[in-house]
Structure 1
């Protein structure tokens, strides 16, 4: 009897161990299946870099957010903007002195400075003038030759030592005869006597004296007083 009971106990114990092994074995495959599902299947939530069109690469991002194709054509590139709104560079015109109200163009006085004064000659070379800083001061002109001699100069001739001249100083103008080149500048470089040519329709102003050159002669004024001189006429005002 005891032997039968012990055999039954052994059989019962063996069956219990088998049940525990089966439960334990079934749980392991289940766990393995869960881990396999976790790592083997694709994870959509972490697959954005593969689905996005190359984040950080050229063309990435939406239009208008910094991509080369964003916005208007050529935006941000050299030469961007409408070329029709940019005026082409053009050389600046050379500055030309504006004519004065009497129609004469002022000249640069420095070009005429010579030997303590400012000297010029007419384009014809017959009238020599000087605006002086030394005695007799003022401004004066003299003729190389003349066709007419004012009645105010009865002692003047066309001789080298009796040349017709005119002078203006401190509001007083006068005609006179000169025996030397008082108003003739003598360049030191061998240039023609008389200084630089004052062309027709040009005027020179120095120390309040203004001389204007025209085909009718030279006219010098200061404070409303002056003279006009040419081979055909000499008068004061």
Structure 2
């Protein structure tokens, strides 16, 4: 469901969005929610001065090290099939209660920018972006940051806050990896990245950013599991649960001779130490045959 569809659900509101390489200002006559959830008590109710659009530089944030001992979270604990607005995904809150976040099954359209992972709450404004300005007669907008295949975005959401109030807490020094994204919870804030392109954001009360440097990436080291002999869907699930991203080469159903397609080769090989979110290429073969892609 897109933001444009959400607008039809509620009262008038204003919205601004800033990308890491560009600035976009969109003023909507009606808007309820970008997503759903996070209680209004977590919103920053301070009134900010009205600002015009500005170019956002791709500047790194202040140092924040997730730590190499990050514990992978059990994705099942964060699963929600419907957030109240027809969106499915994995929802969590920071231990401080300052931020509500989500990794979605399908990207949400943020006025043309696909967002697969996002956080909203008492966020500091990223360098180069404008503070969220309160319009007369409306509640204070709640800052948020998101990331998708095309990059990161900063937005000011007016109306109901973003995510669900029933989200599970993601403990400090824990990472949630699913659907090609990784979010890491630390005392310094929450960082999320799109694992294929490495783009991401970090959100905190003191310092937020639309870019991540090497020390801020959620990628703790993990060991590649052996998924040879598994059916493609099962192999992909095993890699996802290990915090990795799968790329399947070949068929995923049955081969030309009628046999089931299974994973015959993987690169990197099992036992290799790689960063969380690393891409693992799986080549399938028809079971019972040694040659030819399935």
Which is higher, the Rg of structure 1 or of structure 2? Answer: 1
- TM-score between the two structures when normalised by the length of structure 2: 0.40
Larger RCO, structures 1/2 (Cα 8 Å, 6+ apart):
2
- TM-score between the two structures when normalised by the length of structure 1: 0.49
Larger proportion of helix: 1
Larger proportion of strand: 2
